[in-house]
Amino acid sequence: MALVTSKQLLLNAQKNQYAVPAFNVENMEMAMAVIKIANEMRSPVLIQTTSSTVKYSSLKTYQHIVKSLAEEVDIPVAMHLDHGNSFELAVKAMKEGYTSIMIDGSHYSFEENVALTKSVVDVGKACGIPIEGELGKVGGKEDDLDGGDGDKNTDPKEAAEFVKRTGVDSLAIAIGTAHGLYKGTPNIDVDRIYEVKKLVDVPLVLHGTTGVEGEIVKQCVKAGMCKVNYATELRIAYSDGVKEVLKDDPKVYDPKAYGRAGIKKVEEVVRKNIHLCFSENRA
């Protein structure tokens, strides 16, 4: 199937009270693992790359990898730019065939965030590409973007104003999660999802899920999160697979040998998180 945009995927999730899992990938092997398991479980899926990831290679390279893999299955797959850090990068991703874009202006002031996000939304609407924005600060560090140690959870009234003024198709909100690995037990404000949902009609997005208990993730989805992002957990899984092979036999030199081990570990993570999102058999 050809790549699809994320708009209808998230609207379907919003209507039917599940979330579309969104997995950040760093290489071909991780993308292979995600799409294989999503296809087996009949789950719609977003494949994501961050601004740091595409600097490692290029937007075109990652888009071509995911596009070719998506064409081999019959589930809906969207190619998403996660935490786009500039207007220029967001527009370039659209030109290179990405079918979903996040512009992250959460580290700016409210007015600056509105202005940046709206500028990307205007281009996205002209191109038929849905745009995700972010309001409030998710803690921790996501590649080049640092949310700091303290979280600034999203204010519901500000969220309503932000959506109205920018026209975003989906909104990532801060509820106490953090990017990367948690230093302690995360304090997740599930009630805030309900509060934002009362005032905002676009699908809501959960970032910083690695390390959050599965039951809490389920609560967040039931409360109204329509897209759940996974990044660090996949990186750890892939790396663990590679390390195990090289530990058992340091003389291994064929990348396919440890690549397969990394794929297997990522597949386990993807399978688990599709269950948590209630997205199985939703394709």
Residue 145's pLDDT band (boundaries 50, 70, 90)?
very low
Asked if the model's pLDDT at residue 249 lies above 50, the reply is yes
Please give the full DSSP string across 31-49, using - where no structure is assigned. Answer: HHHHHHHHHHHT--EEEEE
3-state secondary structure of 272: helix
More confident residue, 177 or 131: 131
- Contact between 277 and 221 under an 8 Å Cβ cutoff? The reply is yes
Enumerate the domain spans of the chain: 7-276
> Are the C-beta atoms of 75 and 52 separated by less than 8 Å?
no
| pLDDT above 50 for 208 | yes
pLDDT value at 175 more than 80: yes
Residue 144: pLDDT band with limits 50, 70, 90: low
User: What per-residue confidence (pLDDT) applies to 177?
Assistant: 81
Does the pLDDT of residue 107 top 70, yes or no? yes
Q: pTM of this prediction?
A: 0.92
* Block residue for tokens 């997995």: 23
Q: Per-residue pLDDT tens for 56-86?
A: 999 999 999 999 999 999 999 999 999 999 9
Supply the pLDDT for residue 147.
43
Is the pLDDT confidence value at 184 over 70? no
- Dihedral angle at the C-alpha atoms of 8, 10, 13, 17, nearest 10 degrees? -140
Task: Find the helix packing angle between 59-70 and 28-41, rounded to 10°.
Answer: 30
The gap between the terminal CA atoms of the chain, to the nearest Å, is 12
Tell me the catalytic residues: 82
Tell me the HSE value of 30 on the side-chain side, using a 13 A CA sphere.
Answer: 26
pLDDT at 142: 47
Rounded to an integer, the average pLDDT of 38-45 is 98
Residue type, 183: K
Say if domain 7-276 classifies as CATH 3.20.20.70.
yes
pLDDT band at 139 (very low <50, low <70, confident <90, very high): low
For residue 185, what pLDDT band results from cuts at 50, 70 and 90?
low
